[in-house]
Amino acid sequence: MDLGLKDKVVLISGGASGIGEATVRLLAAEGARVAIADRNSSAGSLLASELTATGVQAIFLHGDLATESACRAAVDDTLKMWGRLDVLVNNAGVNDSVGLERPPADFLASLQLNLFHVYALTHFAREALCRAQGAIVNVSSKVSVTGQGKTSGYAAAKGGVNALTREWAVALAPHNVRVNCVVPAECATPQYEKWFQSLPDPASARAAIESLVPLGQRLTQPNEIAAVIAFLASPRAGHTTGQLLFVDGGYTHLDRAASHGHEKW
């Protein structure tokens, strides 16, 4: 299926690795022009160079998106490069494990890291997106709707992303700008793998988590998240807005019996 993304300009935060990288690659394969905003200069530059060498129009925008200036620059530089912005993918974020035992300053820093850029990038991009009658795709997390413990900052930030998705869907509907959110759960990203490797028995930890996923007892792959992001970004989703789409193999909402041999009961 042609998603109708050829020559569309897409700005993707956190696009240098994981779900962001998979999204960049898929959108590029669909013919989009991609601006990769990330603080990882080596990975981001390498990805942009690799894509450019294959004929893709791609740029890397280095910056700490926890700052207003970097968010403004990312939008401005995208517009300077291509003169328009059709899609904003708010993907950047990291589970920094800021729990309730941490001081309030750490909680605020977690919100700055995981929620501030979502608002700031959208704020600076809104006029261009309205001109293009474009789309915003936010990336949240299952911790926005499930308790996990020891991650108050990240949970609050991702809950905020969910809420802003619907707030902006209403605010931007008169301008024909669609706003949706993709919600992963247990996804096989480099960040998740790094966490596995920090544990005493990585293989057992992975197997235990995989066993909780009803569909296939496996982790979601980044390209599976990217496919849904690409669809929501495209004209094919032309009458879809304000939605939270869980791409998680049933992890978040299906009864735990689904992953524990319920067929034998």
The model's pLDDT over 50-87, given as tens digits with 9 standing for 90+, comes to 999 999 999 999 999 999 999 999 999 999 999 999 99
Write down the pLDDT at residue 262. 54
Which band of pLDDT confidence, cut at 50, 70 and 90, is reported for residue 265? very low
Which band of pLDDT confidence, cut at 50, 70 and 90, is reported for residue 261? low
Write down the pLDDT at residue 179. 99
Domain boundaries, the chain: 9-185+221-246, 188-219
CATH 3.40.50.720 fits 9-185+221-246, yes or no: yes
| Nearest residue to 61 (alpha-carbon basis) of 83, 82, 39, 43 | 39
Active site amino acids? 154
Check if the beta carbon of residue 139 is closer than 8 Å to that of residue 184. yes
The predicted-structure confidence for 164-220, as pLDDT tens digits, reads as follows: 999 999 999 999 999 999 999 999 888 888 878 888 998 998 999 999 999 999 999
